[in-house]
Amino acid sequence: MTQPKQPFLPLAGLTVLELPGRVELAVCGGLLASLGATVHVIEGTPRHPARYRTGKQTVHPRQADDIALRADVILASPDVCLFPVRSREDTIRCEITAYGNSGPLAGRPDSEALVQARAGIADTTGRPEGAPCLTGAPFVGMETALYAASAILAALRHRDATGQGQRIDMALYDVAVNALLTFLPLAFIGAEARRAGNRHPTLAPWNAYRAADGWVLICAPTDDQWRRLCGVMGRPDMALDPAYDTTTARFRNVAALDAAINAWTGAHPVADVVARVGAAAIPCGAIHALTDLAGDANLLHRRSLVPDEDGKFLVRNPIRAIGYDVPPVEGSSTPPLPKPARPRAMADIRVLEIGMNTVAPLACRHLGALGAEVIKVEPPTGDSNRVNMPLRDSDGQSYVFALSNTDKHGIVLDLRAPDDAAILWRLVDTADVVIENLKPGSLSRLGFGADAIRARRPGIVHCSVSGFGHDSAWPGRPALDTVVQALSGAMAATPVDGMPTKAGISIADQLGGQFGLLGILAALYWRDRTGSGVTLDIAMQDCTVWATQSAFDALEPGARLTTCLNGWIAVEAPVDMAHLSRDAALKACTARGQAVAPVLSVAEVLAAPQTAARALLLEVPTADGSHWTVLGSPLKLSATPARVRSAMPRLGWPDPLVTALTASTREAHDA
């Protein structure tokens, strides 16, 4: 008889005390509980939605000191609630606040909405010709909780190696500034980095279109995709029209282009549009209403949603380990795992990144900052982000690529060439982690699928991040950030003038990378105790539904955006400030005791004293003698700080470490 699968619970035996405070604490505690930790939450904690209390143990405040003295981790948010407890020297204390414990804004108990305003998120969300917007779900807070869980796991691995506890200083502001990555290049070159609605800042067609019975998202930015879309629409003439026959021409004439596509989609139901466009291998999807998620084929296939007793849905942790059951939502009573026999810090971890664009590169730049040795494997043409506009005038290198790829070594390999494939196998033989975010099946066809790698290296951690997962109702379906936002309820959560609207920041891409980071750290924690490797299958759709889940609940209205003579403010009370300047409006609201923040542009955020105080922009060198301005890490650990030290050089620049490594493994293999 086949034994039922057990869930993947790498944190079994870990004790966490969640003190009263921000909802982000509750979200972080929920992530740790879903990975097996025993999480105690203090009775009387602010009444966050019930979904964030699931799987935790409620304790009386009088028990807090006793639990704190045996807790491995304490979660606190001192900007909104001071709840002192005693703790041991080896305890990990993670504080989540609006602005962190340094800088001129330290200690302000601002809400997510006010942070979105002050950190440029609101100014980059909404229609180009319209007002700035707050996102309909608290994506900055969800990302902060996710990063906090990763920082905790990194700190625990260090504690296991040294016996040393530490403090973690997580700020919503730091995470929000990091989320602006795709907007920063425009600000760096002096261009205006502003909201683009559902359009892409530089590519077309890429937008939400009204169908006969709803909304559909279509992204066909390449010349080949555009020609195929013209064929699907029965408009082959448009593919040949000089107004649309190049990327530049299409973007220049985007209004007429979108009108033509809208004319076609408007004559067909959503299902028909998605079927026909999808059959042409063009990224597309229905824009789900929140109520549609329960019937989504892929979410059903992956068992991502769990109905609760109130008829609402709980969302499982998106980290899926192959060979294990889906993560529980009710917590765990699994006995503790043994202590690691050979504890290691992140500096002893080698990671192979086989990825493009945002997802795997995001996970790996944080692993690199935490001390891991990251080797990025690129094809002869390079990561596609190397040609992502704008390019630097001095050398033609891409700002986005530099921002996305810090603290990494690099090697160029053509995996179709036997000699290069052999080099990759030699690198795999020395690696602790492999992460990839290519189209599902791509690496398997080249002989480097998860099964082949784990068969050769059973103790390795293999992480795949894709739009809809390898175990999917839609295997091989192409995915882009905006398509995943559409299919995850994220766009429906932010309606603007009746139109579902994407978050300006690339939340689906970012969340995929962030869950990849957390999954890898959890799998390494598991391997330290069991010696077993893990294969992770993470779907960006699962990740984005997880981050959207607060929109399922009927919440009290929060801050709203109000226009001023020369800008906007976010204020947590209805006010009329149209007759005042922004500075005067801020002073007036503050004098009334109203929580308020300015809506800042990306350029203003980059120049803000808080950004400098938190070291969120750094100048770092490259191996080929250049330098870049890049993002500082939002992971602020006191004893093992995440340090961003370098950016990657131009494609093909010889890396001494990788050259020596491949040479030594070749010699060992030949011997």
Alpha carbon of residue 292 to chain centroid: 23
d(CA 243, CA 249): 5
Q: Could you tell me if residue 592 is inside a domain?
A: no
Question: How does strand 499-500 pair with strand 495-496?
Answer: antiparallel
Indicate the burial class of 289 (C-beta count within 10 angstroms; 0-12, 13-18, 19 or more): middle
- List Cα–Cα distances, 530 to 246, 251, 621, in angstroms: 54, 53, 39
Q: How confident is the model at residue 667 (pLDDT cuts 50, 70, 90)?
A: low
Residue 233 has pLDDT above 90, yes or no: yes
Across 509-514, average pLDDT:
99
Q: How confident is the model at residue 341 (pLDDT cuts 50, 70, 90)?
A: very low
Indicate the burial class of 520 (C-beta count within 10 angstroms; 0-12, 13-18, 19 or more): buried
Among 188, 215, 235, the domain-final residue is: 188
Catalytic residue among 123, 258, 509, 528: 509
Across 548-575, average pLDDT:
89
Considering the domain architecture, whether residues 212 and 173 belong to the same structural domain is answered as no
The three-state DSSP-derived secondary structure of 281-324 is CCCEEECCCHHHHHHCHHHHHCCCEEECCCCCEEECCCCCECCC
**In the prediction, which pLDDT does 336 show?**
62
d(CA 606, CA 593): 28
Instruction: Specify the length of the chain in residues.
Output: 671
Residue 515 has pLDDT above 50, yes or no: yes
Q: Could you tell me if residue 598 is inside a domain?
A: no
> Can you tell me which residue has the tokens 């790829």?
405
d(CA 184, CA 605): 10
CATH for 505: 3.40.50.10540
d(CA 585, CA 590): 8
Considering the domain architecture, whether residues 41 and 180 belong to the same structural domain is answered as yes
Q: Could you tell me if residue 581 is inside a domain?
A: no
Question: How does strand 57-59 pair with strand 313-315?
Answer: unpaired
Considering the domain architecture, whether residues 183 and 212 belong to the same structural domain is answered as no
d(CA 373, CA 183): 28
419 neighbors 453 (Cβ within 8 angstroms): no
Considering the domain architecture, whether residues 426 and 358 belong to the same structural domain is answered as yes
- Count the helices and strands in the chain (H runs, E runs): 24, 24
**In the prediction, which pLDDT does 1 show?**
45
**Phi, psi at residue 398, to the nearest 5°?**
-90, 130
Which sign, positive or negative, has the C-alpha torsion 612, 156, 140, 648? Answer: positive
Q: How confident is the model at residue 666 (pLDDT cuts 50, 70, 90)?
A: low
**In the prediction, which pLDDT does 43 show?**
82
Range of 543's domain?
A: 346-552+656-666
d(CA 318, CA 422): 33
Residue 343 has pLDDT above 60, yes or no: no
**In the prediction, which pLDDT does 542 show?**
98
Q: Could you tell me if residue 614 is inside a domain?
A: no
Considering the domain architecture, whether residues 38 and 182 belong to the same structural domain is answered as yes
91 neighbors 638 (Cβ within 8 angstroms): no
Q: By 3-state DSSP, what share of the chain in percent is helix, strand and coil, each rounded to 5? A: 40, 15, 45
Q: Could you tell me if residue 256 is inside a domain?
A: yes
Dump pLDDT digits (tens) for 157-208: 999 999 999 999 999 999 999 999 999 999 999 999 989 999 987 789 999 9
User: What string of DSSP letters covers 598-644?
Assistant: E---HHHHHH-HHHHHTT-EEEEE-TTS-EEEEEPPS--BSSS----
Considering the domain architecture, whether residues 89 and 154 belong to the same structural domain is answered as yes
CATH for 211: 3.30.1540.10
Take residue 610 and report the two structure tokens written for it: 């808080």
Candidate from 5-14, 555-564, 568-577 with smallest mean pLDDT: 555-564
Take residue 536 and report the two structure tokens written for it: 């992770």
d(CA 17, CA 231): 58
Among 160, 188, 216, the domain-final residue is: 188
Q: Count how many Cα atoms sit within 13 Å of the Cα of residue 426 in the half-sphere of its side chain.
A: 21
Take residue 551 and report the two structure tokens written for it: 């929109």
User: What string of DSSP letters covers 430-478?
Assistant: T-SEEEE-SSTTHHHHTT--HHHHHHH-TT-EEEEEESS-SS-SSTT--
Mean pLDDT taken over the chain: 94
Which sign, positive or negative, has the C-alpha torsion 179, 181, 183, 187? Answer: positive
Considering the domain architecture, whether residues 353 and 411 belong to the same structural domain is answered as yes
Q: Could you tell me if residue 127 is inside a domain?
A: yes
Across 94-116, average pLDDT:
98
Q: H or E segment at 15?
A: strand 15-18
- Active site includes 509? yes
Listed in sequence order, the residues at least 6 apart from 654 whose beta carbon sits closer than 8 Å to its beta carbon are: none
Take residue 53 and report the two structure tokens written for it: 């209390």
Across 71-82, average pLDDT:
97
Q: Could you tell me if residue 28 is inside a domain?
A: yes
317 neighbors 327 (Cβ within 8 angstroms): yes
Across 355-378, average pLDDT:
97
Across 636-660, average pLDDT:
95
125 neighbors 132 (Cβ within 8 angstroms): yes
Dump pLDDT digits (tens) for 51-60: 888 899 999 9
What are 321's strand-pairing partners?
Answer: 536
Considering the domain architecture, whether residues 358 and 247 belong to the same structural domain is answered as no
Alpha carbon of residue 231 to chain centroid: 35
DSSP class of residue 494 equals: S
Among 267, 287, 307, the domain-final residue is: 287
Specify the amino acid at residue 375: I
**In the prediction, which pLDDT does 521 show?**
98
Listed in sequence order, the residues at least 6 apart from 651 whose beta carbon sits closer than 8 Å to its beta carbon are: 378, 382, 386, 410, 412
Q: H or E segment at 219?
A: strand 214-219
Q: Could you tell me if residue 327 is inside a domain?
A: no
Across 66-71, average pLDDT:
97
Considering the domain architecture, whether residues 173 and 216 belong to the same structural domain is answered as no
Which sign, positive or negative, has the C-alpha torsion 25, 31, 33, 38? Answer: negative
Considering the domain architecture, whether residues 444 and 476 belong to the same structural domain is answered as yes
Specify the amino acid at residue 426: R
Considering the domain architecture, whether residues 248 and 359 belong to the same structural domain is answered as no
Take residue 181 and report the two structure tokens written for it: 């990555």
Residue 363 has pLDDT above 80, yes or no: yes
**In the prediction, which pLDDT does 389 show?**
86
**Angle at the Cα of 8 (from 4 to 11), degrees rounded to 5?**
140
What interhelical angle do 507-530 and 139-162 show, nearest 10?
20
Q: Which long-range CB contacts under 8 A does 665-669 form with residues at least 24 apart? A: 665/426, 665/427, 665/429, 665/430, 666/423, 666/426, 669/426
Candidate from 294-303, 322-331, 577-586 with smallest mean pLDDT: 322-331
**In the prediction, which pLDDT does 331 show?**
61
Take residue 594 and report the two structure tokens written for it: 């109203």
Q: Please give the tally of structural domains in the chain.
A: 3
Considering the domain architecture, whether residues 350 and 280 belong to the same structural domain is answered as no
